[in-house]
Amino acid sequence: MQSSKYYGFAGALALFCGVAQAASAPSAAPAPALAARLAAFDGWVAQRMATERIPGVTVGFSQGGVEWVKGYGYADLENRVPATAQSSYRLASVTKPMTAVAILQLVEQGKIDLDAPVQAYVPYFPVKPFPVTVRQLLGHLGGIDAYRDSRVEQHFKEHKDTRQSIAVFEQFDLIAEPGTRYRYTSYGYNLLGAVIEAASGESYGSYMRRHVWGPLGMDATVMDDPDAVIAHRVRGYRLDGKAWKNSEFVDISSRFSAGGTRASVPDMLAFGRGVHDGKILSAASVAAMVQPMATRAGRLTNYGMGWEILPTGGRYAIAHGGQQPETVTYLYSFPSRKLTIAVAANLERINPEGFVQRLFEVVTGEPWQLKTYIADAGAQRAYQVAQGLFEEGRAYAERTDQSYADGAATREAFMHINRQALAPDAQAARAYIEAARHPAGGRVFLTAGASMAAALRASGADLNKYAHGGALAFVRDYIRLSQGAAGGMPRFDPAFEHAIATLAAGWDRTAATAWPAAPASIAALDSQLRTAFRGQRAYPDFVPELQELAQASAARGEAEAALAASRLAVELYPLSDRAHALQGLILLRAGKMEPALDALRLALARDPLGAASPAALNGEAYRLKGSGAVAQGMAVLQAAASLHPRDANLQDSLAEFYAEQGLRPQAVQAYQQALQLDPRYPGAVGARAAIIRLGGETKALAP
């Protein structure tokens, strides 16, 4: 039974609506139309918080002279302290781009060489078989591992200084030769913190206050310290079933420059604004920071220097998320638009990106990402090419009006797309399309797409309209322009041009179909969508909405409604891996293992790297566990291990679930299986320690 000090579902909704707190004195008030949309946003937030049982959240945006920040729910449940604009949340990994800025400042001062080995600044860090440079650390390409025994390394209770923090991992072997493998790691950013201290002669916190936080007016940003009195400190929570519990106490000083800070949402906005306004770095340094790095094999990592970098709906965007005990955070910036959005919440293991996406739509009036389903299997390749050209080309045009490549390189890119991406050999074409945005594939999507955007803009087209028309409208309009040109414009293969024209016509007829705010029933939804989409080759993809509907029904114990929603997803979107994966996961939740596995196999057949991949199923298991559905999460892992019997990480996750449920023999067996599959997988050291702790045997499993 739930303790009386916690509120139930309906009570929580009323509670959240009742304590929303607006920011004090924004730099300029939102215009009336935007203010009205923001008022409606309150209702969406309340519903989302009630659904996900989020105690408190603060969200805001800054654009031009307008800044708006609002807190919802409670920063402290026990003492009924409302979440406000001033609430101080742990930033977690949103600290990383701040650390990257400090490194680049010191590079500008001539105190750091990006290509120097880390030992030039941190001589006590052991020399490895290959040199590890500062630049590689900034891009997570240094071969530095992440947590190896998370049961120890993520639960430190004692305060650690810089030397002690580096000692945690300094003896770890490199996981790969630097430059050859992307491995996201907080330990690499701890090393960067040590570099900052050595190059500046100041502690990390002191340097950041004097040179980053202070100049940007980030007065609420501090190093997190359990002993310090920090104004507006937020308390963190986790879910145990549907009940809120206090987060485990963890001293995060061991993650100091990777995730050891605390700040308010206005300070997060000030940082994003300061970066794209060039207040603390030169334009050249900012440009270098936001270039995605690539492995030696020519694969983009989608990470620059402290920022995630990936086109978003054809927009130029940089971002970083954070997650640790007590908190989740997300900072998203659209530099060309001078728009920054930030969110922080005090419930662990939720995805805060939905708040960013919804607020972006409220502020801009644009959809975050058009979700288009292609019902013709033969035309899916054409759409994938169009999507690649749109994402890369329009994002580049939003970032700069400079040409990306000369005419010869552009014509060559079109030639390669026509010959290889659209070739009769479907398997070879798919491989080419997958590589086309990477340096290894010649970045042909960027080369061709940037030239298409430039040509459309020169013709008088407003590139912003493609936020609503998307990839099909973007490529169709270019095709029409090239067909009408006197000559000199690169052309696509006629079969591709015809396929795009057909898909775009279908999209024009269906794009306005909206997901109902409150579906009356699955049957009514079925009838409405089938009528709208009948006979069309391109129409809106509502699998995410059906997934949310199915999961909400399942959480309420409405198994038949959940199954009906998943069936509708498969019937409307039979070529979608996500639809089949959704059906498989709902069948698993209903205890129907064999049909569930069949559905997941269909999902794998549609996309081996998609919604039924090892990483996706592992993530779903932890999502379920985080929501209190531990048994369902374990069932997902068991199914995943059956589908992917050679994946060591799935066995490791299964072992962790078993151990937490007190099933020691099963946990030991799963850890042993993981080590047999791959004695050197990232969690191998922790697995050996866990086996010993659980009373098992590891002698035969040494690397």
> How many CA within 13 A on the CB side of residue 80?
7
pLDDT for 460 beyond 90: yes
pLDDT tier for residue 663 given thresholds of 50, 70 and 90: very high
Measured distance CA(341)–CA(400) in Å, rounded: 21
Please state, in angstroms and as integers, the Cα–Cα distance from residue 666 to each residue in 625, 654, 659, following that order. Answer: 18, 9, 8
pLDDT of residue 527: 92
645 CB-near residues (< 8 Å, 6+ apart): none
Nearest alpha-carbon partner for 681 in 254, 269, 218, 175 = 175
pLDDT of residue 698: 54
pLDDT tier for residue 21 given thresholds of 50, 70 and 90: very low
pLDDT tier for residue 250 given thresholds of 50, 70 and 90: very high
pLDDT of residue 19: 44
**Which residue, chain included where needed, has tokens 């061709």?**
448
Residue type at 349?
Answer: R
Measured distance CA(557)–CA(562) in Å, rounded: 9
Q: Tell me: the pLDDT tens digits for 297-328?
A: 999 999 999 999 989 999 999 999 999 999 99
pLDDT of residue 27: 62
Measured distance CA(43)–CA(40) in Å, rounded: 6
pLDDT for 478 beyond 80: yes
**The pairing of beta strand 81-82 with beta strand 66-76:** antiparallel
pLDDT for 112 beyond 70: yes
Nearest alpha-carbon partner for 632 in 578, 592, 674 = 592
Measured distance CA(426)–CA(624) in Å, rounded: 37
pLDDT of residue 682: 76
In the predicted model, what is the mean pLDDT of residues 345-352?
A: 94
Measured distance CA(579)–CA(587) in Å, rounded: 12
pTM of the model as a whole:
0.90
pLDDT for 11 beyond 60: no
8-state DSSP, 156: -
pLDDT of residue 242: 79
pLDDT of residue 241: 77
Q: Tell me: the pLDDT tens digits for 171-186?
A: 999 999 999 999 999 9
CA angle 254–258–259, rounded 5-degree value: 75
pLDDT of residue 107: 98
The percent of residues above 70 in pLDDT, for the chain, comes to 95
pLDDT for 18 beyond 50: no
CA angle 563–568–571, rounded 5-degree value: 125
Concatenating the DSSP letter of every residue in 355-421 gives: HHHHHHHHHHSS-SS--EEE--GGGHHHHHHHHHHHHHHHHHHHH-SS-SS-HHHHHHHHHHIIIII
Measured distance CA(392)–CA(407) in Å, rounded: 18
**The pairing of beta strand 66-76 with beta strand 21-22:** antiparallel
pLDDT for 701 beyond 80: no
pLDDT for 3 beyond 60: no
pLDDT of residue 697: 64
Alpha helices in 248-379 (DSSP H): 256-259, 265-276, 283-289, 353-364
Residue type at 367?
Answer: P
Measured distance CA(486)–CA(493) in Å, rounded: 18
Give, to the nearest 10 degrees, the angle between helix 380-399 and helix 426-435.
Answer: 10
Torsion-angle region of residue 106: left (phi > 0), alpha (psi -120 to 50) or beta?
A: alpha
Q: Tell me: the pLDDT tens digits for 413-459?
A: 999 999 999 888 888 998 999 999 999 999 999 999 999 999 999 99
Q: Which of 136-145, 393-402, 476-485, 553-562 has the lowest mean pLDDT?
A: 553-562
Q: Which of 225-229, 380-384, 628-632 has the lowest mean pLDDT?
A: 628-632
pLDDT of residue 680: 83
Measured distance CA(222)–CA(211) in Å, rounded: 13
31 CB-near residues (< 8 Å, 6+ apart): none
Measured distance CA(415)–CA(576) in Å, rounded: 30
Measured distance CA(582)–CA(584) in Å, rounded: 5
* Helix, strand, coil shares, percent, the chain, to 5: 55, 10, 35
Taking only Cα atoms into account, the Rg of the chain, rounded to an integer number of angstroms, comes to: 26
pLDDT tier for residue 16 given thresholds of 50, 70 and 90: very low
The percent of residues above 90 in pLDDT, for the chain, comes to 83
- Residue 382 is encoded by which pair of tokens? 């054409």
Contact 417, 456 (CB under 8 A): no
Which carries the bigger pLDDT value, residue 399 or residue 488?
399
Torsion-angle region of residue 22: left (phi > 0), alpha (psi -120 to 50) or beta?
A: beta
pLDDT for 90 beyond 50: yes
3-state secondary structure 59-117: EEEEECCEEEEEEEEEEECCCCEECCCCCEEECHHHHHHHHHHHHHHHHHCCCCCCCCE
Q: Is 99 exposed, middle or buried (0-12, 13-18, 19+ CB in 10 A)?
A: buried
Alpha helices in 77-236 (DSSP H): 95-108, 134-138, 150-153, 162-167, 186-200, 204-208
pLDDT tier for residue 627 given thresholds of 50, 70 and 90: confident
Measured distance CA(352)–CA(62) in Å, rounded: 18
CA angle 281–309–407, rounded 5-degree value: 95
Measured distance CA(469)–CA(370) in Å, rounded: 8
Give, to the nearest 10 degrees, the angle between helix 577-589 and helix 630-643.
Answer: 130
Which carries the bigger pLDDT value, residue 703 or residue 200?
200
